[in-house]
Structure 1
Amino acid sequence: MSTPYELVGRSRQKQRTRNDLIAAARELIAQGGAPPTVEEAAAAASISRTTAYRYFPNQKALLVAAHPETEIASLLPPDAGDDVEDRLRTVITSLVTLIIESEPQQRTMLRLSLEPGTTPNELPLRKGRAIGWIEDALEPLRPRLTDDGVHRLAVAIRATVGIESLVWLTDVAGLPREQAAQLMRWSAEGLLRHALADGTWQL
């Protein structure tokens, strides 16, 4: 396995250069329009094109790096408690806030994820992080719904909460973002209540 360019030699300076390219890409994405190329990010960061390609060999690699950090394991506070409705409400509120605050980057990643030839888990939107966060919220239900039932419910909730849902609700249904966010939270809570009332969760 080859060592990333920024980890060889003057690593601190190279990390700063890499961060400058990512910051420039994020700024260009926030301005709207087509996703920035490596050349455009390099120009915005006052970095030579040749140098930029040493860090990001193609546009997709740059855009993936510019996606918001989502490596956190949980969206719940340490004192979340066992009330599953409160837990889910907390997670969904945080998730919706994250999506709206980083909407330009989220939309860019959604476009990339729909490109032909993109393989599963290649991009952040396909790594299932949100499902993991939702399963964490549903943890108290495992004895009742089983592991499979919790996963199925988390998948169902994820289908109603995400950049895909936000795009449809705002661009197609024409809702303001505040109403779209409220509807996503309402849908998630509705699915949970259905599962609790039914006693099982089968798809």
Structure 2
Amino acid sequence: MQVSPVDDSLEQTELRGPRARTRKLMLDTAIALMQKGQTPSISDVAEAAQVSRATAYRYFPSQAALVHAVVDAGLGPILEWHSDSNDAEVRVQDLLKTSMPRILEFEATFKAALKLSLEQWAERQAGTFGDEPPFKRGHRVEMLQKAIAPLKHTLTEFQFQRLAKSLSLVYGLELLLVLKDMWGLEFEETQDIAAWTAGALVRTAIAEAGV
């Protein structure tokens, strides 16, 4: 994840200032709406937060920017995940254990974001997507590559990326969509299946590399 450098004094001023409070009000309002399963527009959030549309657009110039901010807030501590272990399997299991309860907590938010992504895809296919910036998903790519980083010099680049891509099938919202929504499993069982599958994938990748 790339973070633009910010002057500390300016950041502290903004955190204490009215602009920061207005932005937080809008973000909290958007989070509340998305936790109800809605995918709000800027106008929806402005109305609910009782601020003008002009003010709302100064903080979030597009629906994509708004939803990105809400998703990042929902992910919260997941984005700060770190492991000191040099064992890739241990790291992957820790990432799953850390992430999935949070993803469950904000399941409605992430489903609303997925809905926006799918709607925009359908509009692009139909040629009706306008000038609105697209909403793009992608944190999981970085998180999984970070989790298996100890294998960076053990696997070939192809093997490393294949493992990361394979693990993406058992990490994130889609895990809940398949196992919880389609199979009707309780969360604990989805966690167990994800951990079992992830462990098998890592061990298979290592075995194929002849380590």
Which TM-score band applies after superposition, normalised by the shorter structure? 0.7 to 0.9
Aligned residue in 2 for 1:75 = 81
Query: In terms of mean alpha carbon deviation, does 66-75 or 144-153 score higher?
Result: 66-75
Aligned residue in 1 for 2:4 = none
Matches of 1:134 and 1:151 in 2, distance apart? 10
What do the CA deviations read for 1:22-65 (whole angstroms, capped 9, x no partner)? Answer: 11010111123x32232332232222334223333443332222
| SS in structure 2 of the partner of residue 47 of structure 1 | coil
Aligned residue in 2 for 1:4 = none
**Is the aligned partner of 1:112 residue 2:116?**
yes
Aligned residue in 2 for 1:3 = none
Aligned residue in 1 for 2:26 = 21
**What 5-or-longer segments of structure 2 have no aligned partner?**
1-9
For residues 83-102 of structure 1, the aligned pairs below 5 Å read: 83-102=87-106
**Alpha carbons of 1:196 and 1:124: their partners in 2 closer, same or farther (altered >3 Å)?**
same
Matches of 1:59 and 1:76 in 2, distance apart? 30
Give the aligned length.
Answer: 185
CA-atom RMSD in angstroms: 2.8
* TM-score (ref. length: structure 1): 0.76
What do the CA deviations read for 1:85-111 (whole angstroms, capped 9, x no partner)? Answer: 212211222232332222122111111
Aligned residue in 1 for 2:53 = 49
Aligned residue in 1 for 2:5 = none
Aligned residue in 2 for 1:157 = 167
| SS in structure 1 of the partner of residue 171 of structure 2 | coil
Matches of 1:28 and 1:83 in 2, distance apart? 40
Aligned residue in 1 for 2:7 = none
How far 1:144 sits from its partner (Å)?
Answer: 2.5
Q: Is the 8 A contact 1:74 1:133 kept in 2?
A: no
Matches of 1:136 and 1:59 in 2, distance apart? 29
**What 5-or-longer segments of structure 1 have no aligned partner?**
1-6
- Which of the two has greater helix per residue? 2
**Is the aligned partner of 1:30 residue 2:30?**
no
Q: Which has the higher contact order (CA 8 A, sep 6+)?
A: 2
Matches of 1:14 and 1:31 in 2, distance apart? 26
Q: Is the 8 A contact 2:39 2:113 kept in 1?
A: no
Matches of 2:88 and 2:58 in 1, distance apart? 47
Q: Is the 8 A contact 1:56 1:62 kept in 2?
A: yes
How far 1:74 sits from its partner (Å)?
Answer: 5.8
Matches of 1:159 and 1:122 in 2, distance apart? 23
* TM-score (ref. length: structure 2): 0.74
What do the CA deviations read for 1:99-145 (whole angstroms, capped 9, x no partner)? Answer: 22221221111112222238xx95352x3x32222222222223321
**Alpha carbons of 1:98 and 1:14: their partners in 2 closer, same or farther (altered >3 Å)?**
same
**Alpha carbons of 1:138 and 1:62: their partners in 2 closer, same or farther (altered >3 Å)?**
closer
Read off the aligned partner of 2:81 and give its amino acid letter.
L
| SS in structure 2 of the partner of residue 89 of structure 1 | helix
Structure 1 vs Structure 2: percent identity of aligned residues? 31
Aligned residue in 2 for 1:191 = 201
Query: In terms of mean alpha carbon deviation, does 129-138 or 53-62 score higher?
Result: 53-62
